[in-house]
């Protein structure tokens, strides 16, 4: 089977490019070595950033970010939620500076349907956030858009598939096929079951993010990035419904922000020289974030942190700059021009907010090389689910599900929520709540397995947030495994292996934040799965899963 | 914890105050209670015993081969020897005699067990001190354990040869269709194969998505119980040749025996319950049974949290108990701290490890641990054993907790159960045994 283009990497750029190509009628294969969004995309803060920060030194980035943020809202209105931002002002003397800054930013805000800034005095800030430190004299408000990056990847991949692309997860590129001149002819892959195959294409689109240096070396081309590690902490609930801009000990900015139905604190930015497949959150990183947050929110340590996770930004390479000051610009590499190697294109840098733009650039170059005239449509055609805005209350009433479950289902799937719930008419058991923290219904899990390439419990976590809440899978893992086993025809042993693999992944994110009730809860978790269910004695230990840990 | 001023003169002195009413606390209280001995138990109300599966582990096989459960050594004495050899910090060591031999430990365990679970009592446990057995769980897995509640599904029983596995629509934590996928191959490995079976569902017409304790409460009422009885009768009719029925553990906390009888009558075959993780009804039943035993032994139960103590030098004089905003002081000659580990609330880990009542130092592997990044006491793979959960108090051979210099902190305070260091109470396969044995010893020893 031959393709026009093989896209290597299933993050937001890989899936975005696959979609763009498919919409232009280009025969595309998307390959991802783990699950969609398992790299930088899944570990990001979850915001379609308007580029507020870059106003000073990269106004282009700000303009592009705002503009494309507007496009994404159009094509996937269900996926975005408004996050009001609070920027505390410790010294009234600095207020005019910030006001001026925001007055300029306000000019670009309409591009992303943002609201103009406001200024709050001490009393007004206190009424919004009574536990803010006494230091805060006032604040400026702005807003950004939050997004679920996993859903974004899934939606782009689904759109690609619906327009003729083939999507394969757990399919790792082990070699690039070359001719005698070094031109790329395709790839050799290893599947989940260990089997290998060769697949040919006219072009390879190389979008592996944190793995760019590794995979480009395999291909015989040069892509240099400056990998930047970023860590986040997740709290057990929404501490606030707005985001607060925090100042860390080293002057960096960080946020505590609403994230799905929790709050998240992050992020860090440190040069990373290690293995992108072996990410660990350190004690220092956890302390850095909490210490920074403590300055404006003195009682932050009373809140329960349920998880810590890390990711690597594939930032464009530059020497001599501090991590924070690095450009968030992106680059599409035409290796024929740069390295004299035909048949391969790479992409690096960028931000989540500019993925569609980045994909368009890459796809334009690909189309040009393939001699195809079709233009980009990704800003015009709605993503799956974005065709129509549903009213969750209506959905809840029509199918007889809890309203909150309908809210979350519509957030994740938009107009497709009805399609997911239709089978419940004939099979009411599909309305069963499997994950209570979120909540997630059985119908959604079945849909993710049948139509969104989910084959493990962690894949289901990515699609639906199963196990991502405060219980971290304590209740829902045992409920979800029979469903997965039924759908995939797993033997008992295979099902238990999957269960243990999921617990292992949950464990990885819990380890750095084992404090207070998290220790008590883990004691119960271990008593349940090892003391009673005896999994440690019955199942081979899984792959340690040294990935990002979200 | 703060020191308190002496109270006004009150009624007759208490001989022993036990903090904690789980297995260890109850064992201590029952060992001490008797004519002329006034024993008081202070309890927050529920702890890890209530959250247990209801099975009692005495000595697991530390070398059980993964995936080859049939190879697990099931002789308790052999398991004990191996365990003691591998883990020099295990609390069992405190109960051996001077030569390090087992009989005193086994004697203590047995005495304790028969006092807590008399043969004519309301909670009947099945098992032995010689062999472990494999009980089935609600996931279909098997767990090696010494004692299980009567009528728990145990591998090798004839009634499990052709089982009818029944789930309840209102109880989504159990899938009767999935259970055989796991259980059948394991039964085969154990040499007791299931020669065919069936799965079925019962609908009780209750609210959806109930927890086991909620279901147990509803099944104590006539109508839902009748529905369950009819459901099992019908399901059994549709499966000629069935040898037994397997249910998740949702039968009522009190009155289980009666309902079980009626179910077996209706179905015409034995009915067995499975073990499950918390919130587990057999665990709750165990917790309530312990309270019943204390009441029968005329041990006074004080509900509340311990918020302070009063000592004179190395002599503990009294503890302060708070409940519903009221504080009272309990004076006694002797004290036993059996407040549990993390799950029970006897030990906490914030920035530092803490025993919150007396601020006794916490040990891990015989070293004091204070402020430490918790992850350092854990291993990369979740399935591996973690030092973290073995942290606890260090005790001398009289079960008195030691300070950092190695001397007892109080002359008249003893500790028992999961609060002791050296064992992971949930995963070690010795949780109940250690609680029963150390509890009994702590209650039997006098100054």
Each residue's pLDDT tens digit, B318-365: 999 999 889 999 999 999 999 999 999 999 999 999 999 999 999 998
Q: Residues A8, A199: contact at Cβ < 8 Å?
A: no
Report how many Cβ contacts below 8 Å link chain A to chain B: 153
Mean pLDDT across B391-413: 96
- How far apart (Å, rounded) are the C-alpha atoms in residues A271 and A254? 17
Q: Kindly state the tokens that stand for B325.
A: 């905003």
Each residue's pLDDT tens digit, B160-170: 999 999 999 99
Dihedral, CA of residue B232, residue B237, residue B240 and residue B242, to nearest 10: 10
Q: DSSP of B337-358, one letter per residue?
A: E---STTTTSSEESSBEE-TTT
Taken as a whole, chain A contains a residue count of 550
Q: Kindly state the tokens that stand for A258.
A: 């609403």
Each residue's pLDDT tens digit, A173-226: 999 999 999 999 999 999 999 999 999 999 999 999 999 999 999 999 989 999
The residue whose two tokens read 């039997």 is: B444
- What are residue B410's phi and psi, to 5 degrees? -125, 145
Q: List the alpha helices (DSSP H) in A144-240.
A: 149-162, 212-219
In 3D space, the residue among B159, B144, B118, B368 whose CA is nearest the CA of residue B246 turns out to be B159
Give A175's strand partners: A188
- How far apart (Å, rounded) are the C-alpha atoms in residues B437 and A207? 62
Report CA torsion sign: B33, B35, B38, B41.
positive
The pLDDT value recorded for residue A50 is: 66
Mean pLDDT across B210-215: 96
The pLDDT value recorded for residue B3 is: 39
- How far apart (Å, rounded) are the C-alpha atoms in residues A464 and A439? 9
Instruction: Kindly identify which residue of chain B lies nearest to residue A442, measuring between CA atoms.
Output: B172
What is the percent of chain A where pLDDT is above 90?
Answer: 79
Q: Kindly state the tokens that stand for B212.
A: 């086991």
In 3D space, the residue among B253, B242, B156, B184 whose CA is nearest the CA of residue B214 turns out to be B253
Q: How confident is the model at residue B113 (pLDDT cuts 50, 70, 90)?
A: very high
Average pLDDT, chain B: 92
What is the percent of chain B where pLDDT is above 90?
Answer: 84
The pLDDT value recorded for residue A134 is: 87
Mean pLDDT across A436-444: 95
In 3D space, the residue among A244, A164, A180, A121 whose CA is nearest the CA of residue A1 turns out to be A164
Q: How confident is the model at residue B1 (pLDDT cuts 50, 70, 90)?
A: very low
Record: contact B277-A528, CB cut-off 8 A: yes
Instruction: Kindly identify which residue of chain B lies nearest to residue A490, measuring between CA atoms.
Output: B181
Q: Would the pLDDT of A52 be above 90?
A: no
Taken as a whole, chain B contains a residue count of 447
Q: Would the pLDDT of A342 be above 60?
A: yes
Give the end-to-end CA distance of chain A in Å, rounded to a whole number.
Answer: 35
- How far apart (Å, rounded) are the C-alpha atoms in residues A343 and A333? 12
Record: contact A519-B178, CB cut-off 8 A: no
Q: Residues A29, A165: contact at Cβ < 8 Å?
A: yes
The residues in A 392-451 lying below 8 A from B, measured between CB atoms, are 429, 432-434
Mean pLDDT across B107-117: 96
Give A18's strand partners: none
In 3D space, the residue among A354, A263, A287, A333 whose CA is nearest the CA of residue A68 turns out to be A354
Q: Residues A24, A34: contact at Cβ < 8 Å?
A: no
Q: Kindly state the tokens that stand for B4.
A: 């308190």
Grouping H, G, I as helix, E, B as strand and the rest as coil, residue B396 is coil
The residues in A 465-524 lying below 8 A from B, measured between CB atoms, are 475, 478-479, 481-482, 485-486, 490-493, 495-496, 500, 503-504, 506-507, 511-512, 514-516, 519-520, 522-524
Calculate helix-pair angle for A457-464, A492-510, nearest 10 degrees: 60
| A443-457, B77-91, B208-222: least confidently modelled range | B77-91
What is the percent of chain A where pLDDT is above 70?
Answer: 99
Residue of higher predicted confidence among A103 and B396: B396
Eight-class DSSP state of B12: S
Instruction: For chain A, give every domain's residue range.
Output: 2-40+150-224+328-370, 81-145+226-318, 432-537
Residue of higher predicted confidence among A130 and B217: B217
Instruction: Kindly identify which residue of chain B lies nearest to residue A495, measuring between CA atoms.
Output: B182
Q: Residues B304, B322: contact at Cβ < 8 Å?
A: yes
Peptide bond preceding A267: is omega within 30 degrees of 0, i.e. cis? yes
**C-alpha dist (Å) from residue A517 to A284, A306, B30:** 21, 10, 31
Q: Would the pLDDT of B11 be above 70?
A: no
The pLDDT value recorded for residue A90 is: 79
Grouping H, G, I as helix, E, B as strand and the rest as coil, residue B336 is strand
Eight-class DSSP state of A40: T
The pLDDT value recorded for residue B5 is: 39
| A528 touches B: beta carbon within 8 Å | yes
Mean pLDDT across A358-386: 97
- How far apart (Å, rounded) are the C-alpha atoms in residues B142 and B423? 22
Which class is domain A2-40+150-224+328-370? alpha beta
Q: Residues A31, A241: contact at Cβ < 8 Å?
A: no
Q: List the alpha helices (DSSP H) in B52-143.
A: 76-86, 103-116
Instruction: Kindly identify which residue of chain B lies nearest to residue A527, measuring between CA atoms.
Output: B426
Q: Residues B261, B146: contact at Cβ < 8 Å?
A: no
| A318-322, B49-53, B360-364, B418-422: least confidently modelled range | A318-322
**What are the strands, taking DSSP E only, across A114-260?**
118-121, 138-147, 166-168, 171-178, 184-191, 196-206, 225-235, 243-247, 253-259
Q: Beta strand pairing status for B315-323 and B367-369?
A: unpaired
Each residue's pLDDT tens digit, A153-178: 999 999 999 999 999 999 999 999 99
Q: Would the pLDDT of A61 be above 80?
A: no
**C-alpha dist (Å) from residue B41 to A59, B3, B38, B110, B336:** 70, 21, 10, 22, 9
Grouping H, G, I as helix, E, B as strand and the rest as coil, residue A410 is helix
Q: How confident is the model at residue A286 (pLDDT cuts 50, 70, 90)?
A: very high
Q: DSSP of A421-443, one letter per residue?
A: HTHHHH-GGGG-EEETTTTEEHH
Mean pLDDT across B6-19: 70
The residue whose two tokens read 């084992």 is: A514
Mean pLDDT across B408-424: 97
**C-alpha dist (Å) from residue B220 to A276, B226, B270, B376:** 56, 10, 20, 47
Partners of residue A491 in chain B, C-beta under 8 Å: 181, 185
Q: DSSP of A252-293, one letter per residue?
A: -EEEEEEETTEEEEE---EE--S-TT-----HHHHHHHHHHH
Q: Residues A111, A70: contact at Cβ < 8 Å?
A: yes
**Phi-psi map region of A164: left, alpha, beta (phi>0 left; psi -120 to 50 alpha):** left
| A90-94, A369-373, A497-501, B107-111: least confidently modelled range | A90-94
Tell me the shortest Cα–Cα distance from B318 to chain A, in angstroms. 28
Give kind and range of the element (H or E) at residue B134. strand B133-136
Closest in A479, A537, A544 to B66, CB measured:
A537
The residues in A 278-297 lying below 8 A from B, measured between CB atoms, are 283
The pLDDT value recorded for residue A51 is: 67
Each residue's pLDDT tens digit, B58-84: 998 766 656 566 666 668 888 898 899
Q: Residues B386, B378: contact at Cβ < 8 Å?
A: yes
Q: Using CB atoms within 10 Å of the CB of residue B333, give its burial: 0 to 12 exposed, 13 to 18 middle, 19+ buried.
A: middle
Q: Residues A158, A451: contact at Cβ < 8 Å?
A: yes
Q: Would the pLDDT of A49 be above 80?
A: no
The residues in B 251-310 lying below 8 A from A, measured between CB atoms, are 275-278, 280
Q: Using CB atoms within 10 Å of the CB of residue A427, give its burial: 0 to 12 exposed, 13 to 18 middle, 19+ buried.
A: exposed
Angle, alpha carbons B321-B325-B331 (nearest 5°): 20
Which class is domain A81-145+226-318? alpha beta
The residues in B 178-217 lying below 8 A from A, measured between CB atoms, are 178, 181-186, 208-209
| B374 touches A: beta carbon within 8 Å | yes
The pLDDT value recorded for residue B322 is: 96
| A271-285, A465-479, B3-17, B268-282: least confidently modelled range | B3-17
Nearby residues of A415 by Cβ (< 8 Å), 6 or more positions away: A78, A385, A386, A387, A388, A389, A390
pTM: 0.95
Mutate to test the interface with A, among B382, B385, B391, B424 (most CBs of A within 10 A): B382
Average pLDDT, chain A: 93
Report CA torsion sign: A360, A362, A363, A365.
positive
The residue whose two tokens read 């397995």 is: A449
The pLDDT value recorded for residue A543 is: 85
| B50 touches A: beta carbon within 8 Å | no
The pLDDT value recorded for residue B4 is: 44
Q: Would the pLDDT of B99 be above 90?
A: no
The pLDDT value recorded for residue A62 is: 75
Give kind and range of the element (H or E) at residue B308. strand B305-312
Each residue's pLDDT tens digit, A307-334: 999 999 999 998 888 887 787 889 999 9
- How far apart (Å, rounded) are the C-alpha atoms in residues B331 and A381? 77
């Amino acid at each position: 089977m031959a393709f026009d283009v093989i896209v290597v990497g299933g993050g937001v750029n890989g899936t975005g490019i696959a979609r763009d190509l498919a919409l232009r009628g280009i025969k595309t294969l998307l390959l991802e070595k783990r699950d969609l969004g398992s790299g930088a995309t899944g570990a990001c803060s979850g915001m379609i950033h308007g580029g507020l920060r870059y106003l000073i030194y990269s106004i282009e980035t700000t303009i592009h970010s705002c503009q494309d943020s507007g496009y994404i809202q159009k094509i996937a209105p269900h996926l975005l939620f408004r996050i009001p931002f609070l920027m505390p002002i410790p010294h009234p003397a600095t207020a005019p500076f910030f006001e001026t800054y925001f007055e300029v930013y306000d000019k670009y805000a309409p591009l992303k349907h943002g609201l103009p800034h406001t200024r709050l005095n001490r009393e007004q800030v206190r009424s919004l956030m009574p536990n803010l430190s006494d230091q805060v004299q006032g604040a400026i408000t702005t807003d950004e858009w939050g997004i679920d990056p996993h859903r974004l990847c899934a939606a782009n991949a689904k759109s690609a598939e619906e327009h003729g692309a083939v999507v394969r997860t757990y399919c790792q590129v082990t070699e690039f096929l070359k001719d005698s001149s070094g031109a790329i002819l395709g790839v050799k892959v290893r599947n989940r079951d260990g089997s290998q195959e060769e697949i040919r294409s006219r072009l390879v689109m190389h979008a592996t993010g944190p793995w760019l240096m590794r995979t480009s070396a395999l291909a015989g081309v040069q892509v240099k990035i400056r990998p930047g590690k970023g860590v986040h902490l997740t709290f057990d609930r929404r501490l606030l419904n707005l985001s607060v801009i925090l100042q860390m000990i080293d002057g960096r900015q960080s946020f505590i922000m609403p994230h799905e139905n929790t709050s998240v604190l992050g992020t860090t930015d440190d040069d990373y020289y290690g293995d992108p497949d072996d990410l660990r959150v350190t004690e220092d990183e956890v302390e850095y974030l909490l210490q920074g947050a403590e300055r404006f929110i003195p009682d932050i340590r009373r809140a329960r942190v349920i998880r810590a996770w890390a990711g690597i930004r594939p930032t464009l390479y530059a020497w001599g700059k501090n991590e924070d000051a690095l450009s968030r610009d992106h680059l599409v590499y035409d290796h024929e021009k740069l390295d004299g190697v035909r048949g391969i294109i790479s992409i690096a840098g960028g931000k989540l907010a500019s993925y569609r733009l980045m994909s368009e650039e890459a796809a334009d170059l690909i189309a040009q090389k393939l001699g195809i005239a079709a233009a980009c449509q990704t800003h015009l055609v709605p993503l799956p689910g974005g065709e129509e805005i549903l009213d969750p209350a209506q959905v809840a009433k029509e199918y007889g599900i809890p309203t909150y479950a309908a809210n979350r289902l519509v957030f994740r799937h938009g107009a497709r929520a009805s399609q997911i719930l239709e089978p419940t008419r004939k099979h009411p058991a599909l309305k069963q709540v499997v994950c209570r923290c979120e909540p997630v219904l059985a119908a959604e899990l079945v849909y993710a397995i049948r139509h969104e390439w989910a084959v493990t419990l962690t894949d289901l976590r990515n699609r639906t947030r199963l196990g991502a809440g405060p219980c971290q899978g304590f209740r829902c893992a045992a409920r979800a495994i029979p469903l997965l086993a039924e759908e995939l025809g797993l033997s008992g042993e295979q099902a238990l292996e999957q269960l243990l693999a999921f617990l292992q992944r949950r464990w990885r994110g819990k380890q750095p934040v084992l404090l207070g009730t998290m220790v008590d809860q883990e004691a119960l978790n271990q008593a349940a799965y090892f003391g009673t269910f005896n999994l440690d004695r019955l199942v081979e230990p899984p792959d340690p899963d040294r990935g990002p840990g979200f | 914890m703060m020191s308190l001023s002496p109270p006004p003169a009150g009624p007759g002195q208490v001989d022993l105050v036990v903090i904690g009413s789980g297995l260890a606390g109850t064992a201590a209280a029952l060992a001490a209670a008797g004519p002329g001995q006034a024993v008081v138990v202070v309890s927050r109300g529920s702890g890890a015993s209530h959250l247990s599966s209801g099975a009692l582990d005495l000595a697991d096989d530390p070398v059980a081969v993964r995936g080859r459960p049939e190879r697990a050594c099931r002789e308790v004495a052999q398991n004990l020897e191996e365990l003691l050899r591998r883990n020099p910090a295990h609390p069992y060591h405190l109960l051996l005699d001077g030569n390090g031999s087992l009989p005193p430990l086994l004697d203590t365990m047995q005495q304790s067990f028969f006092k807590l679970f008399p043969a004519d009592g309301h909670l009947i446990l099945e098992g032995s001190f010689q062999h472990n057995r494999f009980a089935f769980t609600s996931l279909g897995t098997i767990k090696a354990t010494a004692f299980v509640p009567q009528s728990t599904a145990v591998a090798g029983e004839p009634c499990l040869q052709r089982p009818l596995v029944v789930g309840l629509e209102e109880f989504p934590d159990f899938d009767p269709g999935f259970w055989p996928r796991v259980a059948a191959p394991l039964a085969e490995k154990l040499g007791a194969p299931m020669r065919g079976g069936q799965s079925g569902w019962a609908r009780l017409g209750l609210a959806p998505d109930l927890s086991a304790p909620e279901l147990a409460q509803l099944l104590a009422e006539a109508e839902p119980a009748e529905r369950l009885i009819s459901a099992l009768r019908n399901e059994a009719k549709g499966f000629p040749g069935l040898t037994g029925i397997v249910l998740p553990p949702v039968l009522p906390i009190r009155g289980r025996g009666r309902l079980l009888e009626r179910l077996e009558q209706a179905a015409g075959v034995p009915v067995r319950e499975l073990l499950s993780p918390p919130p587990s009804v057999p665990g709750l039943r165990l917790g309530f049974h312990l309270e019943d035993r204390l009441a029968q032994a005329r041990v006074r139960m004080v509900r509340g949290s311990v918020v302070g103590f009063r000592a004179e030098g190395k002599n503990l004089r009294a503890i302060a108990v708070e409940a519903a905003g009221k504080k009272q002081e309990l004076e006694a000659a002797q004290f036993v701290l059996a407040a549990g580990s993390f799950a029970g609330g006897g030990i906490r880990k914030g920035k530092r490890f803490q025993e919150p009542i007396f601020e006794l130092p916490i040990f891990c592997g015989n070293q004091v641990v204070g402020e430490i990044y918790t992850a350092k006491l854990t291993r990369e793979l979740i399935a591996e054993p973690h030092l973290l959960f073995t942290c606890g108090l260090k005790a001398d051979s009289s079960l008195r907790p030691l300070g950092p210099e190695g001397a007892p902190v109080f002359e008249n305070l003893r500790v028992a159960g999961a609060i002791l260091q050296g064992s992971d109470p949930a995963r070690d396969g010795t949780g109940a045994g250690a609680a029963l044995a150390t509890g009994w010893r702590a209650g039997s020893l006098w100054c």
